[in-house]
Homo-oligomer: A and B are copies of this chain.
Amino acid sequence: MQTGQDAAAIFVERWNEAASFEQTGTCPVRNVLDKIGDKWSMLIVMYLAAGPKRFNQLHREIPDISQKMLTQTLRDLQRDGLVARQVFDTKPPSVEYRLTTLGHSLIVPFGHLIDWANQSIPSINKARAVFDAAS
């Protein structure tokens, strides 16, 4: 690893740091990253960040999501403890989804990422234009 020419080298360690790696057989960081990259997970989390919402309310608000993917993504988020599901015994039945404390806590680091993205889009688009022009 040479001399500490760049403190950023520790990030590779951080990646594999979690102790459960050997236990589960899959990298724990991957689990989180897969959710970030997932087409709908983070969008749903952000819509729920505004407050609890019911199933069809989310369905109406989120553009283009299919019922299948809304159901599936919500279940995955619930399984990971990021979203809580509460059924009200009304007729017809209503189901409310809300972020858990853990779910809310994800918004902080994720927000930094979104900010980076919005700040960097111009640079990225410019780099792409240059690269594509040279090929």
Contacts and interface: CB of A to CB of B under 8 A. Distances in A.
A59 to B, nearest CB: 15
Interface in A76-101: 78-81
B118 A17 contact: yes
A22 interface: no
Question: From DSSP, what is the main secondary structure of chain A's interface residues?
Answer: helix
Interface string A30-55: 01111111100011001101110000
30 contacts: A2-B51, A6-B49, A8-B49, A8-B50, A8-B107, A11-B46, A11-B107, A11-B110, A11-B111, A12-B46, A12-B49, A14-B114, A14-B118, A15-B43, A31-B124, A33-B36, A33-B113, A34-B37, A35-B37, A36-B36, A36-B37, A78-B131, A79-B132, A80-B124, A81-B124, A102-B127, A106-B120, A108-B116, A109-B115, A112-B113
